[in-house]
Amino acid sequence: MTHYQKMFRKFYTLCAFPLVMTACGGEPAVSFSQDVQPILEQNCIQCHQAGGLGTVASGLDMTTYEGLMKGTDAGPMIIAGDIEGSNILVLMEGRADPSISMPHGKNEPVSKQDIQTIRSWIAQGAKNN
């Protein structure tokens, strides 16, 4: 390998590769089953499961990907690729009327880190991965 080839390889590794990854959306892929579902299980499932108060009131069952993507009786909670229009984020981030923010009542709010994970998953297409 010539001196120039070594320099090019070093340049590519140190400079170009990180730029390409950032330009190509180099954010790590968020997995529904490994990253998002555990957040929902911790914060939402107690109400949004078959027979739960949240499911009875809204029709939203969050125990499966299919149930989450089906949404509520009033419409979708997740719009793949649309973090501003996805109602789950509107409710979790407190952008809705406080009386309907999620989780309800005295339950602890979803952490900012967990909300960011859900935001990233939705921005990446809300895939069932």
How many domains does the chain contain in total? 2
Residue 118 structural domain? 31-123
Q: In the block, which residue shows the tokens 């957040």? A: 39
pLDDT at 27 over 90: no
Q: Are residues 109 and 48 in the same domain?
A: yes
Decide if 118 is inside a domain: yes
Mean pLDDT of 116-127: 98
Q: In the prediction, which pLDDT does 26 show?
A: 74
Q: In the prediction, which pLDDT does 105 show?
A: 82
Decide if 7 is inside a domain: yes
| pLDDT tier, 4 (very low <50, low <70, confident <90, very high otherwise) | very low
**Which pair of structure tokens corresponds to residue 117?**
């994970």
| pLDDT tens by residue, 74-102 | 999 999 999 999 999 999 999 999 888 99
Q: Are residues 8 and 69 in the same domain?
A: no
What percentage of the chain has pLDDT greater than the value 70?
A: 81
Decide if 128 is inside a domain: no
Decide if 50 is inside a domain: yes
Decide if 129 is inside a domain: no
Q: In the prediction, which pLDDT does 22 show?
A: 37
C-alpha 18/C-alpha 12 separation (Å) is 9
Q: Are residues 56 and 70 in the same domain?
A: yes
pTM of the model: 0.79
Decide if 70 is inside a domain: yes
C-alpha 56/C-alpha 93 separation (Å) is 23
Decide if 106 is inside a domain: yes
Chain center to CA of 87: 12
C-alpha 62/C-alpha 70 separation (Å) is 9
| pLDDT tier, 104 (very low <50, low <70, confident <90, very high otherwise) | confident
Under 8 Å CB-to-CB from 91, ≥6 apart: which residues? Answer: 100, 101, 102
